[in-house]
Structure 1
Amino acid sequence: MRVLVLGADGYLGWPTVMYLSEAGHEVGALDNFVRRQYDSELGVQSLTPIEPLSRRVRAWREVSGHEVPTYVVDLQDGEAVVEAVRDFRPDAIVHYAEQRAAPYSMIDRKHAVYTQVNNVVGTLNVLYAIAEVDPSIHLVKLGTMGEYGTPNVDIEEGWLELTHKGRTDRVLFPKKPGSFYHLSKVHDSHNIEFATRIWGLRATDLNQGVVYGVETEQSVRDPRLVTRLDYDDVFGTVLNRFVIQAVLGQPLTVYGGGGQTRGMLDIRDTVECIRLAVENPAEAGEFRVFNQMTESFSVAEIAKTVASAYNGPVEVDYLDNPRVELEDHYYNVVHTALPSLGLEPHLLSDTLITSLIDVVERHKDRVDLEAFRPQVDWRRHANPRQT
């Protein structure tokens, strides 16, 4: 199959390009490199040194023999999106190309508006490009488990059979997102469902949990192929922060009481989920939702897992939570679709022992301790870096 990966220079995009090409697909890579600009804006950098996309593509060709054509396109430019899709003629489009950080969207008005315009308009342009060039193209869109929030009921895979006043219908599962970023993903989901229903497009919405890890079978072949590892207060994940703090002998900083629970998965499982979705496409007119996660953990449980995996003393500090979120809540997610297609998950403890800690040890001289400090408060309306 021919697969065009949008956001191919990103944390998940680049490993996906390599994984799908290694799986026998002809892969194209599209990006506008704005993710690298966020680092410059925030004054942070990936813990792992990452090469420009052009060097990554060249290194991958040298290592694997696979050619990857590239497109420098901003999804805000609808005509350019159409031209790229028409030129590559994909059977499937994997869409990662969005501003992905909840804290970034909550910095201030400008960042909230940017996140929603960038994400929602970009996805609309992709939908129109598919409809214009070839409605049979299968859209595999990265969503987020954060669309659902933390409801006090089991979270189904996208849809819910609802009975109300004696009548029953199949409706999209109710959403209760926790940031303007997560709201943008909800809008995406609604727009995609509408396009499948009205235009007969085919789409798979992957509501993904928190991804951890940086190494895949492909990336370890050459240091030029590594993907990014974010740990700062805006784009970093709690797991990355904990591992780095443990390696440096710093206390693990838990926001609030640590009862917040989220779905998680290994980066190797992410790329496999993408492959499974691409190779088993939705039907024409179908909006299919997969909950893409393998395990769930509270923040306190993640801290305990890191402490157990690391060979050294580890302390935990509890900080005031800058986010507005429930810390003690019910969380049970149905995630059967991807395992039914053949997903065999990796476990968090294995990844920590075999990969993450080793990567951090190799690059710990690049850590900026100031980047850990939480500066984005959900209750504020202004940029804390400017006030």
Structure 2
Amino acid sequence: MSIYFDNAATTAKKPKEVAEAVYQTLLSGEYGNPARGSHDYSLNSFRTVAAVREQIKELVSAPATYEVVFTNNASTSLNMMLKGLIKPNAHVITTSWEHNAVLRPLYQLVATQNVTLDIIESDEITGHLRVSDIEDKITDETTTIVVDHGSNVTGNIIDLEEIKEIAQKYKLTLIVDGSQTMGQYPISLADGVIDAFCFTGHKSLYGPTGTGGICLKRELEKELVPLLTGGDGMQSFSKTQPQELPVLLEAGTMNVAGIRGLSAGIDYVNSLGVASIHEHLLNLSNHFVSGIKDLSNVQLYGQFNAKRCGVVSLNIIGIDSATVSDCLWEDYGIAIRPGYHCAPLMHEALGTKEHGTLRFSFSSFNTLEEVDIAINAISELSKEVDE
């Protein structure tokens, strides 16, 4: 029997209701193309999608000033916001925590739109972000701050309140990548400071792959340039994409079955409660860390006395992370993620550029008994180095 600890990549184990929702949508023959007709088939899909928009807004306490747009994943969401909101010659501030879903679009804007970029650094080993450096980087050309809410490498969670204060003070657009926190850490957009919160559906929301979205301020529709243009079902003779949310960012046919599956995943999260899920993941993470922190040759990365999500990264000094990962799978049946996790600057900061890290990431389906097996495995592998 195998153990899955790669939930930061995707939650492999989903609630059965998620699969049933997708299956029933496709099997029923009752769901057509939303906004593409006035018959029940189209209206069934339209009403379903509209209901899930509201479900997501409730999950993050978003007021009526926000709209939810559905995408394929967080990478699409982030590309839409970065390329749609950041104008030529602008100055942008981001962090060394970022995933390539943020970094590569920004590098592209630097190369093609004369955008300038400052990256806030992190400390070695702990990955502590030097948030206090942000204000020093702000110039007259600064328009945007882009931050990762929770690091997919260290599990550290950023101090969003401090970031929001800076964004408000200087009237900057604030874009947040919530890929690792949505569904497992309490999030509130109630104060209206965050302009765009990007999320994926297939991780801690337990939805199908191919689902994600953005919860963004409606006022942004005035300035957003759509990443994709195409059919919207209503204004067919317009030569441009309609400049209203959500159709501004939802060109083409929507993944109705996936969105219904995502809805079932959110129902599961709500049934347990985000706070309860977070507490469970912290218990698993803390138990794991306590069991390995004093082992010979084990190096942990991250801040363990601060707010965290359910991710723990480590190395067994002297063994390449890919080799350890293979051993964990072949000898113990434990699935984890070795390497760089698409976050190169984080690994440069941690000092793990040459060998990456072993990332253990937990879900609500994991147990303390499974964590004990992982502790034993790491203990045995670390002893092999000494021998």
Shared fold (TM-score greater than 0.5)?
no
TM-score (norm 2): 0.29
Larger relative contact order, structure 1 or 2 (CA cutoff 8 Å, min sep 6): 2
TM-score (norm 1): 0.29
